[in-house]
Amino acid sequence: MAVITPFRGLTYNLHTWPDLSNLVAPPYDVISEKEQDEYYRTDEHNVIRLILGKQKPGDSDWDNRYTRAAEKFKRWESEKILVRADKPCIYLTSLTYNPGNGNAERTRWGIIALARIEDRDSGIILPHERTFSAHKDDRLKLMRACNAQFSQIFGLYEEPDNTLLKACKEAAGFKPNVAFEFRDGTKHEMWILQEPSLFKYISEITGDKQIFIADGHHRYETALNYRNIMRPKYGRQASNRSYEYVMMYLSNMSDRGLTILPTHRLIKKAPDFDPDVFLEKAKSWFTVKDFPFSEKIITSGCREIKSGLEKSGIDNTAIAFYHYKADKYYILSLKPEVRKEMGGDLHPSLQKLDVLVLSRFILQRTLGFSKEDLDDSELIHYQSSMVTSISQVMSGKCQMVFLLNPTKIEHVKEIAGNSLVMPRKSTFFFPKILTGLVFNKIDPDEIIQRP
């Protein structure tokens, strides 16, 4: 089913830059304008200049952030700042991080390789979240200008025995080719593997797998659109040309290092909001319990709220609610008999999602938001940190917050397996994959040799 293959990746010249900590950056779509400036100042060769170039007042069709990224990419390769592997490779990576929930550090393992792009109805590479046209248009302009993929799509496969990772670790030995600590405290290692026998083994293992897209839906859609643009010019799938593939970071769904964080919903301003009226309406669908709130909640890292949410949400949907100047917070537990009232348009697997319970019963029916409102980024903000979320409400920057449990990986698999998609920001696979470890240069005339 899935076709996974090695490739001649481009990396920073590791003889010149053995430490990549000042050259890499998070994915473009989580970088604020302030952070963009910081990465620009960090190093003149930071990947930010490729993935998120600055706009200028005099930008035109022939001189803009996409053309400037292409020029810089070409120059960096000619100056050996970036070097391409002399033969196909698969890149084994480890990422050690603090999950932020009071537990000990954990390590997530993955490989970076190429995956053959599949049509939307193939049932092989499965998305799980909605995408938006503006993001795809932006990434397509960059890909067409540079003929390259700078960031990996984060894909998950299912293999309980973990034989793929074991084989890669055996081939890697001990000393990594890359090792550094990023500014956020995460620790990264990467081994460059070049054994053809390993590639054949990986191809056999993944040949009957489906891949679930955990993160990078826009980038995958962009690669698919790019492929469809290139086919009329150079040939179709049978040619196995490089544009038929996309660079992926692949991790086992059973990996102990896999973490999904919740994405809480902050409401900037709800018209005519009255907390007593709101709570009374909510009782039509939820059992509501209140708890005293004080600043100790913040200083203790919100452990009390997290614990209450987890216990109430083991076999049910539980949502915590806090509003500006309140001396209480609330946990709303869905009444089991009302889940069927979510709407006949929702597949049963979608009805299990806490984010859709929040959307249907609270945001729409209780607060009166329209479906258009739910896509309004000025009205609804998203935040993975519970402490930050509550702090923004305490400060008055937002009027209220709805705090969620993380989406379960079983739900992601079930929904994607049914060819369905979740609302945006339903999952946050943590940490994000750094951009700058490996790049994929796309030469339309290059044929990808499958193991």
> Percentage of residues in the chain with pLDDT exceeding 90?
75
Q: Which of 342, 353, 347 is nearest to 285 (CA)?
A: 342
Q: What is the pLDDT of residues 4-14, one digit of tens each?
A: 999 999 999 99
Rounded-to-integer distance, Cα 249 and Cα 12, Å: 18
Rounded-to-integer distance, Cα 416 and Cα 404, Å: 21
Rounded-to-integer distance, Cα 119 and Cα 303, Å: 44
pLDDT exceeds 80 at position 134: no
User: Largest Cα–Cα distance of the chain, in whole Å?
Assistant: 67
Question: Quick check: helix, strand or coil at residue 257?
Answer: coil
Rounded-to-integer distance, Cα 301 and Cα 100, Å: 10
Phi-psi region of 419 (alpha: psi -120 to 50; beta: other; left: phi over 0): left
What Cα–Cα distance (Å) separates residue 165 from each residue in 110, 170, 205, 214, 255? 8, 9, 11, 18, 10
Is 381 in contact with 398 (CB distance < 8 Å)?
Answer: yes
Overall average pLDDT of the 336-348 stretch = 86
Overall average pLDDT of the 109-125 stretch = 93
Q: What is the pLDDT of residue 77?
A: 97
Rounded-to-integer distance, Cα 217 and Cα 36, Å: 22
Overall average pLDDT of the 410-422 stretch = 83
Q: What is the pLDDT of residue 371?
A: 86
Is 10 in contact with 82 (CB distance < 8 Å)?
Answer: yes
pLDDT exceeds 90 at position 368: yes
Is 406 in contact with 261 (CB distance < 8 Å)?
Answer: yes
Overall average pLDDT of the 66-72 stretch = 97
State both tokens at 137. Answer: 């248009």
Say which residues have a Cβ less than 8 Å from residue 360's Cβ, sequence separation at least 6: 342, 343
User: Greater confidence, 310 or 299?
Assistant: 310
State both tokens at 345. Answer: 């348009």
Is 323 in contact with 270 (CB distance < 8 Å)?
Answer: no
Is 160 in contact with 150 (CB distance < 8 Å)?
Answer: no
State both tokens at 43. Answer: 């190093």
Q: What is the pLDDT of residues 203-257, one digit of tens each?
A: 999 988 999 999 988 899 999 999 999 999 887 656 789 999 999 999 999 888 9
Overall average pLDDT of the 161-170 stretch = 94
What DSSP string describes 44-57?
A: TT-THHHHSPPP-T
The gap from C-alpha 210 to its chain's centroid, in whole angstroms, comes to: 18
Q: What is the pLDDT of residue 405?
A: 96
Q: Cis (ω within 30 of 0) for the bond into 431?
A: yes
Q: What is the pLDDT of residue 184?
A: 93
Phi-psi region of 34 (alpha: psi -120 to 50; beta: other; left: phi over 0): alpha
Instruction: State pTM to two decimals.
Output: 0.90
The gap from C-alpha 7 to its chain's centroid, in whole angstroms, comes to: 23
The gap from C-alpha 293 to its chain's centroid, in whole angstroms, comes to: 32
What DSSP string describes 47-115?
A: THHHHSPPP-TT--SSSSHHHHHHHHHHHHHHTTSEEE-SS-BEEEEEEEE--SSSPPPEEEEEEEEEE
Cα torsion 108, 111, 112, 116: sign: negative
Q: Which of 310, 334, 309 is nearest to 320 (CA)?
A: 309
pLDDT exceeds 90 at position 418: no
Rounded-to-integer distance, Cα 140 and Cα 129, Å: 19
pLDDT exceeds 80 at position 103: no
Q: What is the pLDDT of residues 167-209, one digit of tens each?
A: 999 999 889 999 999 999 999 999 999 999 999 999 999 988 9
State both tokens at 151. Answer: 């960031």
> To which residue do tokens 């702090």 refer?
391
User: Greater confidence, 283 or 271?
Assistant: 283
